[in-house]
Amino acid sequence: MGTSGSSKGPNPRTPLVPSWLDDGPSAAPADVDGTQPPDSNQPAAPSQPQPLPPVPPTPQPGRFTASRRNFSAFAGSGGGDGRALRRAVRDYVRSGTNGSGNATRRMGASRATARGVLGLLRDFQRDGVNPTLARLNLGDLVGRPLEDVFIGLTDVICEDGGSIDEGIAREAWLETIAELDGLDVTDPTTLSPDQMGDIFLAFIAHSVVCRLLQDIGAKGFKFAADLAGIAAFDAQLRNYIRRSVRDSFSGDLAMPSALSDRQIHTIVDRTYHEAWELLVTQGDAEG
């Protein structure tokens, strides 16, 4: 359940968005800060000196206090206090990260992995599964079940690093693979666009859950006293985030093969941003 690292969570003095977490022009949706991700289908612009990134704003002391208090109430209820859960996530976004734009940027490695997932699914549909695997020097995966193929692609899709952020992305991908049985498909060559969309949104949801558990829950909170309560807590948290990701999604994945790299960048960043926005709205409805 969630991240398994021993981190104590972010220190209140940690910048809202550490400078190493940003990944260039695509770090926020175009409708958040006006930037646009690069498009590999367009000629590269002449190289020009890039300005230094702005100094991250000084975070407010105790910015995670409200979210941790509500998250503890939710955990202690054995997943029964949905109102506390919705408030906890809202407070995480609004007070903990200072808004959905920063919450999106905070998903640095997860956004990179999500782009890798969607790009891979695009290549599967556009170029074919076997040619794509051959291009990646993974021809030994040809003809293997979908789960085996995705496990073999982990190091291609996920950044190989030791940071917490990279660990979150990798765990979210592995949790997505664990859910493949629910798609009722074993052959990667028979994936439909709807199933590809399910895989993409499942990864987004898992990465959000892992981020929340790391930032809000890493310092510990009291669970319900019985195993059934802990299982209910986990199920309610994941179901809430998954529903929110799906309900907020406005992208078009009807034809993955037609997506350009630039469109993939935009879809990924907007998906995270819209999910965080909806989570704030739902929390506000609780007062």
Torsion of CA 75, 64, 275, 118, to 10 degrees: -90
Nearest residue to 208 (alpha-carbon basis) of 162, 161, 176: 176
Q: What is the pLDDT of residue 133?
A: 97
CA angle in degrees (0–180, nearest 5) for 257-263-267: 105
5 vs 109: CA distance, rounded Å: 16
**Six-digit token pair at 189?**
């060559």
CA–centroid distance for 230 within its chain? 23
- Rounded Cα gap, residues 201 and 206, in angstroms: 9
Alpha helices in the chain (DSSP H): 30-33, 65-76, 82-91, 100-105, 108-127, 129-135, 146-152, 154-157, 164-178, 193-215, 227-248, 261-284
Query: Which residues, 6 or more positions from 266, have their beta carbon under 8 angstroms from its beta carbon?
Result: 26, 29, 30, 36, 37
How far apart, in whole angstroms, are the C-alpha atoms of residue 199 and residue 81?
Answer: 29
Torsion, CA 244, CA 247, CA 253, CA 259, rounded to 10: -60
Rounded to whole angstroms, what are the CA distances from 149 to 133, 155, 175, 182? 9, 12, 15, 16
Q: What is the rounded distance in angstroms from the CA atom of residue 54 to the CA atom of residue 75?
A: 37
Q: What pLDDT score does 32 carry?
A: 46
**Model pTM above 0.85:** no
**What pLDDT does 5 receive?**
39
User: What is the reported pLDDT for 34?
Assistant: 42
Neighbours of 66 (CB within 10 A): 17
In this prediction, residue 54 carries a pLDDT of: 58
The phi and psi torsions of 147 (rounded to 5 degrees) equal -60, -45
Question: Cα–Cα distance between 177 and 35 in angstroms, integer?
Answer: 32
| Domain extents in the chain | 60-284
> How confident is the model at residue 55, as a pLDDT?
52
pLDDT at 221: 61
**pLDDT per residue rounded down to tens, the chain (287 residues):** 443 333 445 555 555 554 334 554 333 444 444 445 555 555 555 566 666 655 555 556 577 889 999 998 998 888 889 999 999 999 999 999 999 999 999 999 999 999 999 999 999 999 999 999 999 999 999 999 999 999 999 999 998 766 899 999 999 999 999 999 888 888 999 999 999 999 999 999 999 999 999 988 766 566 666 788 888 889 999 999 999 999 999 999 999 999 999 999 999 999 999 999 999 999 999 87
**Alpha carbon separation from 243 to 198, 246, 248, 271 (Å, rounded):** 12, 5, 8, 13
